């Protein structure tokens, strides 16, 4: 590595010559940093693309929209947002605590209305309900889970 020497610059002409010389010198350190930055950005961009590809293949949450609150009677419908690419859904409702499944049904649309028999199984208590979106090949595209409560008659 060459030694650097300090030069005394006294006149404006010497300052100008010194500045021009310093600008004309090769900037290997800057070039190396620039090259490393470009390589790092390319790797990071590649990892970002890979993450998007992997993320697209993992199950995402489904937004369950109804029911989400405390109810005075069994819910009339279970509704959720559609999932792109889903050809069917599986809806399950289970009691919190016992884990007993009181409703398990496939669906092709984004809502189901429990039948009278299914509604009779929904007695006062706390429930968790879930929806699983399935693709054409049967793989899970997305899942969602929520809870709701049915109050005892006359309870507020």
Residue 74 to residue 149: CA distance in whole angstroms: 9
Q: Where are the chain's structural domains?
A: 12-57, 60-150
When the pLDDT of each residue in the chain is averaged and rounded to a whole number, the result is 80
Q: How many angstroms from the chain centroid is the CA of residue 146?
A: 17
Q: Is the pTM of this model over 0.85?
A: no
Q: Which of 77, 55, 59 is nearest to 68 (CA)?
A: 77
Average pLDDT, integer, range 96-107: 93
- Strand 88-95 and strand 125-134: the pairing is antiparallel
H or E stretch including 136? none
pLDDT at residue 154 tops 70: yes
H or E stretch including 109? none
Q: How many angstroms from the chain centroid is the CA of residue 10?
A: 64
Average pLDDT, integer, range 58-64: 70
Give the pLDDT score at 64.
Answer: 81
Residue 138 to residue 132: CA distance in whole angstroms: 11
Tens of pLDDT, residues 65-93? 888 788 888 899 999 999 999 999 999 99
Tens of pLDDT, residues 134-147? 999 999 999 999 99
**Cβ pair 134, 144 in contact under 8 A:** no
H or E stretch including 132? strand 125-134
Average pLDDT, integer, range 38-45: 69
pLDDT at residue 94 tops 90: yes
pLDDT at residue 52 tops 60: no
pLDDT at residue 59 tops 70: no
Inter-CA distances, 79 with 8, 18, 130, Å: 81, 75, 11
Domain 60-150 has CATH 1.20.1060.10: no
Average pLDDT, integer, range 43-57: 53
Grouping H, G, I as helix, E, B as strand and the rest as coil, residue 95 is strand
Give the pLDDT score at 61.
Answer: 79
Give the pLDDT score at 67.
Answer: 83
Residue 116 to residue 111: CA distance in whole angstroms: 16
**Cβ pair 96, 65 in contact under 8 A:** no
């Amino acid at each position: 590595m060459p030694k650097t020497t300090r030069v005394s610059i006294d006149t404006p002409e010497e300052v100008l010559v010194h500045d021009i010389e310093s600008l004309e010198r090769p900037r290997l350190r800057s070039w190396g940093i620039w090259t490393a930055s470009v390589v790092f950005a390319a790797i990071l961009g590649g990892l970002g693309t890979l993450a998007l590809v992997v993320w697209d293949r993992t199950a995402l949450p489904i937004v369950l929209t109804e029911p989400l609150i405390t109810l005075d009677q069994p819910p009339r419908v279970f509704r959720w947002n559609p999932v792109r690419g889903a050809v069917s859904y599986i809806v399950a409702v289970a009691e919190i605590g016992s884990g007993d499944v009181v409703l398990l049904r496939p669906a092709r649309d984004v809502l189901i209305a429990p039948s009278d028999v299914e509604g009779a199984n929904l007695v006062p208590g706390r429930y968790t309900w879930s929806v699983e979106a399935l693709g054409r090949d049967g793989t899970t595209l997305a899942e969602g889970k929520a809870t709701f409560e049915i109050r005892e008659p006359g309870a507020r």
